[in-house]
Amino acid sequence: MKLPRRNFLHLAASAAALPAMSRLARAQAYPTRPVRIIVGFAPAGGTDIMGRLIGQWLSDRLGQQFVIENIGTEMVVNAPPDGYTLLVATFVNAVNATLYDKLNFNFIRDIAPVASIAREPFAIEVHPSVPVKTVPEFITHAKANPGKINMASAGIGSGNHVAGELFKMMTGVNLVHVPYRGAGPALVDLLADSANFGLTR
């Protein structure tokens, strides 16, 4: 049987489109059950708040519950790759790859990016009891009081810790790093004046 060229091209195009159509149909049905969004930071910090806002937005838009869980990246690595366990990743994930000798996963190999959801600058915060109004005034004050100003962070290797260390290196100030178990607790102590200085997003 001889198949006319036009018919052959129609059949070939239809066959090529079938896998894409089945993927599209599956994508349109997603999600069919609750989705977990893993935030590897303590509640009330910037990343946690961002994750909760995104989760609520997705729940409203897709009609399925997106549940935020404050646990580690390894949970996502070990989850089935079915789109029902998502990670709010930050540059801290890259920092951890250099900070820790023995992680149970390779972030580049074991995690697949889905979307970029935010870009966040860091801002310097000082308690009102610190007698400064500008960054240059703070640098002058810190140099006059070496080792006497506490710098709160969300923990060793966190974004505000790395930014704080860069600030110290660039300005030559001597601040005492005080790591907390998340940005939320660090901010609470900054407001209570247990910490004098912090960087936040």
Nearest Cα neighbor of 97 from 87, 80, 111 is 111
Please identify every stretch of the chain with a pLDDT value under 70, giving residue numbers as ranges. Answer: 1-27, 194, 199-201
Helix (H, G, I), strand (E, B) or coil at 178: strand
What pLDDT is attached to residue 11?
Answer: 45
CATH of the domain at 196: 3.40.190.10
Question: Going by DSSP bridges, is the β-strand pair 123-126/197-200 parallel, antiparallel, or unpaired?
Answer: antiparallel
Q: Are residues 41 and 106 in the same domain?
A: yes
Q: Are residues 77 and 134 in the same domain?
A: no
Domain co-membership, 106 together with 142: no
The pLDDT value recorded for residue 8 is 40
Q: What is the pLDDT of residue 14?
A: 53
| CATH at 76 | 3.40.190.150
Examine residue 89 and state whether it is found in any structural domain, yes or no.
yes
Report the candidate in 42, 39, 69, 54 with the shortest Cα–Cα distance to residue 187: 42
**How much is the pTM?**
0.68
pLDDT for position 12: 46
Which pLDDT belongs to residue 26? 53
- What is the domain extent for residue 129? 123-200
pLDDT of 184: 84
Each residue's pLDDT tens digit, 164-179: 999 999 999 999 999 9
